[in-house]
């Protein structure tokens, strides 16, 4: 009975206090619960000039209250005529700052990502989500204010030669990325139990630039999210350019994601 009560507290915490921090296009400074496992299946793509899409399978693990790790595999037809396995990436985030009070907190975290991809390099954007091999490192800060969560990140990306495909001459190997995110817990208005469906609204600004090349973009990415029984999450998002001076796959892209979380698995 005691273990069941503890599990309920974890569910309630995940469903209420941090729901509006579960951004769709970015990661917050907060981590998932210790000894929890998340399984994501995601599809994103565009319809013009023809339909192209990428599918991702991702596993996430809460190693401790300060450390979480992700592993992702990618498959798409973005850069080739036929859909194929593109490679994978690993991601880690370490929370170094936590200032907590009632219904609010401020968090800071470092994050790093490493990707090995086999696609030909045809875009100016350095993207470690299936397009480019490389490494990324950055920092993210998140402020929770009752039902509103605000977050910002900045990072550096270094592109490597892809497996079997070199970066062409004249293409950038260094990039700077940034994001600004806001999330609002719309429903439930009053929380009574962990089975209530959560509805979260998000608006995110996503940007990237290749220093010295005059290439960059800034996207607006509104999103809606549903959380069922505190363990099943469904995301919908669409990003569109506010301005764009970079050839890339991520322009005018939809995203659909299904995520299931297992708590206290060890």
pLDDT-derived band of residue 101, with 50, 70 and 90 as boundaries? confident
Domain 1-263 in CATH 2.40.160.40: yes
Q: Where along the chain do its domains lie?
A: 1-263
What b/e readout covers 154-178, taking b as 16+ CB neighbours within 10 angstroms?
ebebebbebeebebeeebbeebbbe
**Residue 237 in this model has a pLDDT that exceeds 90:** yes
Q: Which of 72, 73, 113, 116 is nearest to 93 (CA)?
A: 113
pLDDT-derived band of residue 97, with 50, 70 and 90 as boundaries? very high
pLDDT in tens, 12-62: 444 444 678 999 999 999 999 999 999 999 999 999 999 999 999 999 999
pLDDT-derived band of residue 83, with 50, 70 and 90 as boundaries? very high
CB distance 97 to 106 below 8 Å: yes
**Residue 153 in this model has a pLDDT that exceeds 60:** yes
pLDDT in tens, 125-152: 999 999 999 999 999 999 999 899 999 9
Strand partners, 202: 183, 223
User: Could you give the dihedral angle defined by the CA atoms of residues 153, 159, 163 and 169, in that order, rounded to the nearest 10 degrees?
Assistant: 150
The chain-wide mean pLDDT, for the chain, equals: 92
Q: Which two tokens stand for residue 236?
A: 């919908």
pLDDT-derived band of residue 191, with 50, 70 and 90 as boundaries? confident
pLDDT-derived band of residue 6, with 50, 70 and 90 as boundaries? very low
**Residue 99 in this model has a pLDDT that exceeds 50:** yes
Other C-beta atoms closer than 10 Å to the C-beta of 180 total 15
Give the DSSP H or E segment for 28: none
pLDDT-derived band of residue 167, with 50, 70 and 90 as boundaries? very high
Q: Which two tokens stand for residue 245?
A: 């001076």
Check residue 189 and give its pLDDT. Answer: 82
Return d(Cα 155, Cα 151) in angstroms, integer: 14
């Amino acid at each position: 009975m005691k273990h069941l009560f503890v599990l309920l507290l974890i569910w309630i915490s995940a469903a209420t206090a941090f729901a509006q921090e579960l951004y769709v296009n970015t990661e917050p400074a907060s981590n998932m619960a210790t000894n929890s496992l998340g399984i994501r299946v995601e599809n994103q793509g565009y319809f013009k000039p023809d339909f192209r899409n990428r599918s991702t399978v991702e596993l996430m693990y809460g190693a401790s209250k300060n450390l979480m790790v992700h592993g992702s595999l990618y498959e798409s037809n973005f850069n080739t005529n036929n859909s194929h396995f593109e490679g994978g990436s690993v991601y880690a985030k370490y929370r170094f700052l936590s200032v907590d009070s009632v219904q609010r907190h401020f968090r800071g975290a470092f994050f790093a990502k490493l990707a090995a991809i086999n696609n030909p390099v045809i875009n100016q954007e350095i993207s470690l989500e299936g397009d480019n091999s490389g490494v990324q490192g950055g920092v993210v800060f998140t402020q929770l204010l009752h039902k509103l969560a605000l977050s910002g990140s900045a990072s550096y990306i270094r592109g490597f030669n892809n497996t079997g495909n070199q970066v062409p001459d004249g293409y950038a190997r260094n990039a700077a990325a940034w994001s600004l995110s806001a999330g609002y817990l719309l429903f439930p208005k009053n929380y009574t139990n962990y089975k209530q469906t959560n509805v979260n609204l998000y608006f995110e600004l996503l940007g990237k630039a290749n220093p010295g090349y005059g290439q960059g973009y800034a996207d607006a990415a509104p999103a809606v999210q549903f959380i069922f029984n505190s363990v099943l999450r469904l995301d919908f998002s669409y990003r569109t350019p506010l301005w764009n001076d970079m050839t890339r796959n991520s322009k005018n892209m939809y995203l659909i994601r299904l995520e299931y979380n297992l708590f206290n698995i060890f």
